[in-house]
A and B are shown apart, each in its own frame.
Chain A
């Protein structure tokens, strides 16, 4: 019984606890401001608005935990939407599968390029993914200089069940409470749940915490970080599937504003930028917090023009806050056991 209370106490002190608290507060305020929040249709709209960020935040969390950072997340998203809509043809259902396969291949390639740079070549993650972000942007612009492209009709399944021709009613009914976006999130969560029990994810924490010591323990740090980048790319792919299903087009610049939000979500969710710490599921909490705050701004009638301003401020406050928090807990620990 003593063990239970001490685990509870340990949990309260962690950054995850405060981020959960803050998210709940934001949630409460949002529900208060948006009277129809829990109506079916509005819930679905909320899912569609929130889930892409949530998925990408989870992926980013994986990379950060393993000691990296991915500034190319936004452009990677754009590139994937472009590739999907480039390959698909409206009247060719089979092209949907080809596009899907190609997109998976692109995601793995993106993950490998980033991973090799961060993991094997040991380049500073910030700059190397900054470089690759322009690489993805360039390729996307090359394929699609202006937004456009097309999808085959069944691809709408990633956005909205009822627009898929010939789909059984069962799905349409289910889609009213559990839309495709939510399914994508469930797939992501279940996938990560099982992954997190494997050796390579344990190694990600080790490598992110102390690369040299992990190496000295016989861990292949290069491969570990590369796998993290690939997993991130796959999460981004899930978000891309949704966007393509929704917009039915690809746009080389659509992902630009996402990158900062994605990183901020991870930080707000308690993932330390230094690596080795944090829980990917709490990136969900972070993304929710940011999304709720955006909703609050909207409902508080702050003019559109100010939204970027406010979201930038929030990000700084969030990051400063979580860092100050960890500074305090570190100092408390130092006082306890003088090193």
Chain B
């Protein structure tokens, strides 16, 4: 029996089309798996169903009527709950207080804590027996946090439960518990949507699978009917041989090593990473989103004071424990979330572009504004940044141009290593091309070495000489030459093959 049906969902964010034709059916008591590569649209459609986003076109039919939720709270009241990866919990409250937060039951004028505790214990015991519900959320590890999130979603007896990568932070044993709980929910008639990047998990728990690619659903498999064949699933995710895939014309082999990294470790986030960066090459870092790629960039830029491991730049030891060290060695980071980390939104293009110069050691007291302004105008032209003047506030520029400012900051420096953390994310095609053209020029002319993390496989395929694939904090493969093509990237990213 179909509980929810999404038909023809379209969604775009600015210039980026996230969904061009999304369709999905959820059936009572069935667990539907959602699979797809980065940017395939699978998490967008989940968020539309639960009211985080609103669809541009298309309809969602829930229990026979059409619905359009303005926020997750509305959806929850209607029986659709979603377990996010972060976080709807309140840190200073206990597990049971969080589980009932917002829907507490009263006994007279006072809270019925007994009932709340009983309910929470039941749910938690079903998911992770032994977890003390009196613990405060701040005391929990990521796996336990995820369990509590799930518990909270379940506590409101949803008809449809969407779990977005719930196993990412869980250990094996916790995954088993989660699956047990999910099966029990299915027996009670709850419909579920389950996403994971681990194919074997999907095959184990799901009743059927829907595969998304490039903003639409491209295939499905009902495990009651079809045999569970991972090959078929993978080919649906990657798609048949792509027509006119832009192949990088020449992938040059580079010889001299400029940067050596060995045994980089940071908690569970980066595990035993070692690699070499050759001079003048573009080394890519790929894999599914959230496997530690971005953190690797931050680490190399000196952002983690407690990191352990060794690094050498041009033969000399390199300290990775503060950004000023990296900057002094001409290792520059172009951060991914430009608004959060890369820009002074209230300030002008000019101020933003010259800021790093101020951090240098021998800065004159009176900023040589005339000279800096000329250099700034120069950079603006080189990068084709569209702005009224260099005194325009940066917040008024489009995303793509903002990103160019973030890159442009480092232009006048002689860069040894340029770390690009998803530089073209959310940037329109034109600006993307400008950005990469410019970076390529810098590489060719100045022999700058680049480490490029991109969540979009196309960028990796188009621009990298070599490509490291990361999975759960480790580098699991390094692709070279012809290996760098979308199929191989995707299969390697999934940890299969």
Chains A and B share a contact (CB less than 8 Å): yes
Count chain A CB atoms within 10 A of each CB in B76, B92, B132 and give the residue with the most. B92
Q: Cβ of B378 < 8 Å from any Cβ of A?
A: no
Q: Do residues B101 and A206 form an inter-chain contact, with CB atoms below 8 A? A: yes
Could you say which of B82-90, B405-413, B482-490 contacts chain A?
Answer: B82-90
* In the complex, per-residue mask of B83-125: 1 if CB is within 8 Å of any chain A CB, else 0: 0000111111100010001111010011100000000000000
**Contact status A213-B73, CB under 8 Å:** no
Residues in A neighbouring B104, C-beta threshold 8 A:
199, 202
A217 CA to B101 CA in the complex, in Å?
Answer: 7
194-228 of chain A: CB within 8 A of chain B:
194, 197-199, 202, 205-206, 208-210, 213-214, 216-219
Q: How many residues from B make CB contacts under 8 Å with A?
A: 29
Interface of A is mostly: helix
Query: A209, B90: Cβ atoms under 8 Å?
Result: yes
Task: Kindly state whether residue B139 has any CB partner on chain A within 8 Å.
Answer: yes
> Which residues from chain B sit less than 8 Å from chain A, CB to CB?
72-73, 76, 87-93, 97, 101-104, 106, 109-111, 132, 134, 138-142, 267-269
Kindly state the separation between the CA atoms of A178 and B110 in the bound complex, as whole angstroms. 30
Q: What are the 7 A-B residue pairs with the smallest beta carbon separation, nearest first?
A: A338-B267, A217-B102, A337-B141, A276-B92, A209-B92, A218-B102, A197-B110
* Shortest CB distance A78–B (Å): 33
- A:316-339 near B, CB below 8 Å: 333, 336-339
In whole angstroms, how far apart are the Cα atoms of A276 and B73 in the complex?
22
> 5 A–B contact pairs at CB < 8 A?
A6-B132, A198-B110, A206-B101, A209-B93, A276-B91
Question: CB-CB < 8 A to A301: which residues of B?
Answer: none
List residues of chain A with CB within 8 A of the CB of B111. Answer: 197-199, 202
The reply to whether B142 and A199 contact each other, CB–CB distance below 8 Å, is: no
Known interface pairs A198-B109, A202-B97; A337-B142 also in contact (CB < 8 Å) = yes
Q: Contacting B73 at CB < 8 Å: which of A7, A202, A216?
A: A216
Instruction: For A211, give the chain B residue with the smallest CB separation.
Output: B90
CA distance in complex: A247, B138 (Å): 47
- Name the CB-closest residue of B to A7: B134
A199-B104, A202-B101, A208-B92 are known contacts; what are 10 more A-B pairs with Cβ within 8 Å? Answer: A202-B111, A206-B101, A210-B91, A213-B90, A214-B90, A217-B101, A217-B102, A218-B76, A336-B141, A339-B267
CB-CB under 8 A for A206 and B93, given A197-B110, A213-B87, A218-B73: yes
Q: Which A residues lie within 8 Å of B267 (CB)?
A: 338-339
Interface: A156 (CB within 8 A): no
- Give the distance to chain A from B148, nearest Cβ to Cβ, in Å: 13
A208, A217, A218, A276 — most chain B CB neighbours (10 Å): A217
Residue-wise interface mask of A (217-248) relative to B, using a CB-CB cutoff of 8 A (1 in contact, 0 not): 11100000000000000000000000000000
Distance between A169 CB and nearest chain B CB, rounded to angstroms? 37
Bound state CA distance, A216 and B73, in angstroms?
7
User: A198-B109, A198-B111, A216-B73 are known contacts. Are A338 and B268 too (CB-CB below 8 A)?
Assistant: yes
Among B88, B110, B132, point to the contact of A217 (Cβ < 8 A).
B88
Q: Verify if A277 is at the interface (C-beta below 8 Å from B).
A: yes
Measured in the bound complex, the distance between the Cα atoms of B144 and A333 in whole Å is 14
Complex: how many Å from CA A217 to CA B97?
A: 12
Residues B139 and A333 in contact, CB atoms below 8 Å apart: yes
